[in-house]
């Protein structure tokens, strides 16, 4: 590094001195313009005017003016009493000068110089003079004493929303109170927000002014509860503030907003069918303001009465389980901020369901000739017409109705096709036949009870034998006739039997004086001959045997006679021929003349078995 010589250092110092003296020159060099000023003074102002071309100053001028002091009170020692210089910075910048307030010369009178820099001013007029480039500006100012300002001393009272401040300051060294009647008022005003949601300011305000009172806090309360901030919800409130011992209050009301009603209406659910489970009756609505509430009842004209056991209003959508018509009542409770909307009714129906246990009856049978009422159906089922005939043999379809056990929730199902299989009916035929005497004409059997008019075949066999044939027997003996009835389209076949006797024919020419009849009956209780009851004096009974007296026999006419014996349950019959009776015999029968002889020819027959015995009558 090279050392700087003393000669070089001297040249540098000379250059610095030249640069320091440049602002004092009347000509200032700029990059594009060199000011050339001339100076003039008028009153308190010195004007520097540039007469060079291309000057960038307004009107080619820059001014410097002596102004009033900032401290105008001579007895105020808190700050300097020096005059001010207005436009100093711009003036120095344009002219390159270094003028300051210290360059001002002060005078009290003329030409006595005064030094006011040390706050030695008096209550008098002073002149301030500033000389620049041989021109002088001058400004005069009179210093006065600092006034004594009135200081208020307030007491506060309140009347409703108004606080009144009364000044009680009466100090002798102070100016008088400038308040009208020495009072100032501050009024607490209710907020502009008077209806919920109106968007207006919720804060209370003040009108009027009390000197020195700023930022007074406003409080809010609802009843006895103090709120944390200005309320916005509907209700009645009090705004209040306290100043000293005075409290101003204003009561105001924020009204409920008119409820916009339902933004989405509740709707009845359709197509509801009983399922055994609770089902929502409506779709919920949306309230424009407040809360949507619902209840349900069965009275179409009146809302449910909670006191009478009705369902209270809740925000839950009502549900129901059983089939029926329900009336859902929907309303909007506006709550604290909205008016309420009255209840409206929605009718909702849960239809009865088709029975789930519906199983058509099967395997039903009936007998030809029956009506449907005789065909038993499962529980819950009934014939549409129980008096209807089941018809011919075979399967037939009839209408039946099903009534469920729970008719409140399930429909009755009508006219269901039910099949009934009709079977053939049984018949109970009976056959009767009258026996005959061997050698006589055979009697034909008689059949009753052939309801279906089936073909009939008669067969015969000896009693106790099963070897039936169609050949009619002719020999004496005991037989059974069987009637076989063939089945028809609607009736089953059947058989019936009856016993009968073919009696032997006996000829006996031996005279008899009496007739003894034997039988297989029980104790004989009555005897008839030729259909007429015989007086018991004309016969004797011994168990199942009967002996007719000679007297009775002689009273009969010649020919065939029939005797019938009764035991109280059944009877036995026999026939015989009487010959040889004369008219005198018949006539005298009632006289029981024993002198007449009787010859009889007796033929006996019985389905129960009869025998006879003739006893020879002695001649008289």
CB–CB of 175/149 below 8 Å? yes
3 state SS of 74: coil
Taking alpha carbons only, the member of 284, 341, 330, 325 closest to residue 304 is: 330
DSSP string, 287-329: ESSSEEEEEEES-SSS---GGGTPPPPBSSPPEE-SSEEEEEE
31 has a pLDDT exceeding 80:
no
Tokens found for residue 125: 């007029």
What does the pLDDT read at residue 119?
Answer: 63
Taking alpha carbons only, the member of 382, 391, 459, 373 closest to residue 418 is: 382
Mean per-residue pLDDT over the chain, rounded:
85
612 has a pLDDT exceeding 80:
no
143 has a pLDDT exceeding 70:
yes
pLDDT above 70 covers a percentage of the chain that reads: 83
> pLDDT of 264-286, one tens digit each?
999 999 999 999 999 999 999 99
DSSP string, 94-116: HH-----GGG-EEESSSS-EE--
Tokens found for residue 22: 């440049």
Taking alpha carbons only, the member of 323, 384, 387 closest to residue 355 is: 323
> pLDDT of 150-165, one tens digit each?
888 999 999 999 999 9
pLDDT tier at 548, thresholds 50, 70, 90: confident
What does the pLDDT read at residue 417?
Answer: 96
186 has a pLDDT exceeding 60:
yes
CB–CB of 164/223 below 8 Å? no
CA–CA dist 269, 80 (Å, integer): 92
What does the pLDDT read at residue 173?
Answer: 61
CA–CA dist 281, 247 (Å, integer): 58
pTM, 2 dp: 0.52
CA distances from 249 to 152, 183, 221, 559 (A): 25, 20, 10, 153
DSSP element (H, E) containing 92: helix 88-95
Is the Cα dihedral 593, 598, 600, 604 positive or negative? positive
Q: Where are the domains of the chain?
A: 27-142, 154-254, 262-351, 364-423, 430-501, 514-615
494 has a pLDDT exceeding 80:
yes
617 has a pLDDT exceeding 80:
no
Hunting for tokens 């100093």 — which residue is that?
A: 88
Pairing of strands 319-320, 279-280: antiparallel
CB–CB of 427/494 below 8 Å? yes
Is the Cα dihedral 388, 389, 391, 393 positive or negative? positive
């Amino acid at each position: 590094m090279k050392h700087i010589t003393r000669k070089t250092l001297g040249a540098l110092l000379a250059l610095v001195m030249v640069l320091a003296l440049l602002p004092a020159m009347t000509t200032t060099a700029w990059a594009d313009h060199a000011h050339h000023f001339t100076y003039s003074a008028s009153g308190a102002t010195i004007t520097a005017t540039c007469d060079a071309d291309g000057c960038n100053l307004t009107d080619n001028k820059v001014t410097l003016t002596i102004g009033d002091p900032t401290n105008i009170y001579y007895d105020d020692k808190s700050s300097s009493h020096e005059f001010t210089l207005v436009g100093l910075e711009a003036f120095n910048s344009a002219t390159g000068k270094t003028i300051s307030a210290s360059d001002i010369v002060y005078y009290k009178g003329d030409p006595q110089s005064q030094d006011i820099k040390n706050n030695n001013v008096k209550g008098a007029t002073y002149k301030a003079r500033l000389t620049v480039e041989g021109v002088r500006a001058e400004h005069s100012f009179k210093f006065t004493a600092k006034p004594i300002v009135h200081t208020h001393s307030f007491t506060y009272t309140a009347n409703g929303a108004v606080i009144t401040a009364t000044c009680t300051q009466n100090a002798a060294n102070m100016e008088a109170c400038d308040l009208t009647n020495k009072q100032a008022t501050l009024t607490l005003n209710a907020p502009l927000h008077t209806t919920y949601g109106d968007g207006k300011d919720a804060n209370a305000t003040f009108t009027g002014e009390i000197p020195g009172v700023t930022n007074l806090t406003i409080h809010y309360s609802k009843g006895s509860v103090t709120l944390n901030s200005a309320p916005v919800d509907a209700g009645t409130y009090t705004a209040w503030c306290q100043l000293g011992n005075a409290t101003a209050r204003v009561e105001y009301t924020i009204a409920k907003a008119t409820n916009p009603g339902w933004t989405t209406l509740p709707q009845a659910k359709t197509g509801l069918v009983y399922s055994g489970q609770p089902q929502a009756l409506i779709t919920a609505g949306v309230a424009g303001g407040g809360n949507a509430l619902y209840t349900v009842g069965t009275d179409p004209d009146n809302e449910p009465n909670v006191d009478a056991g009705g369902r209270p209003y809740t925000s839950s959508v009502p549900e129901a389980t059983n089939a029926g018509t329900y009336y859902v009542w929907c309303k909007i409770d506006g709550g604290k901020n909205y008016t309420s909307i009255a209840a409206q009714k929605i009718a909702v129906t849960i239809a009865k369901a088709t029975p789930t246990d519906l199983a058509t009856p099967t395997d039903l049978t009936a007998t030809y000739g029956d009506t449907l009422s005789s065909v038993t159906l499962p529980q819950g089922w009934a014939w549409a017409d129980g008096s209807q005939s089941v018809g011919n043999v075979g399967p037939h379809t009839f209408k039946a109705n099903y009534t469920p056990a729970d008719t409140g929730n399930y429909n009755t199902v009508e006219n269901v096709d039910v099949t009934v299989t009709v079977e053939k009916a049984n018949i109970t035929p009976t056959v009767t036949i009258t026996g005959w005497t061997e050698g006589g004409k055979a009697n034909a059997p008689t059949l009753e009870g052939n309801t279906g008019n089936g073909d009939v075949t008669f067969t015969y066999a000896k009693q106790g034998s099963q070897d039936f044939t169609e050949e009619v027997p002719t020999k004496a003996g005991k037989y059974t006739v069987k009637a076989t009835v063939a089945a028809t389209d609607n009736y089953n076949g059947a058989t019936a039997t009856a016993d009968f006797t073919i009696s032997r024919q006996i000829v006996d020419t031996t005279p008899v004086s009496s007739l003894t009849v034997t039988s297989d009956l029980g104790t004989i209780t009555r005897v008839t001959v030729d259909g007429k009851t015989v007086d018991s004096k004309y016969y004797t009974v011994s168990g199942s045997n009967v002996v007719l007296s000679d007297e009775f026999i002689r009273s009969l006419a010649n020919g065939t006679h029939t005797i019938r014996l009764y035991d109280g349950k059944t009877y036995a019959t026999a026939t015989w021929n009487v010959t040889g009776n004369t008219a005198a015999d018949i006539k005298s029968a009632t006289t029981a003349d024993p002198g007449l002889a009787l010859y009889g020819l007796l033929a006996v027959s019985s389905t129960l078995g009869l025998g006879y015995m003739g006893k020879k009558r002695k001649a008289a």
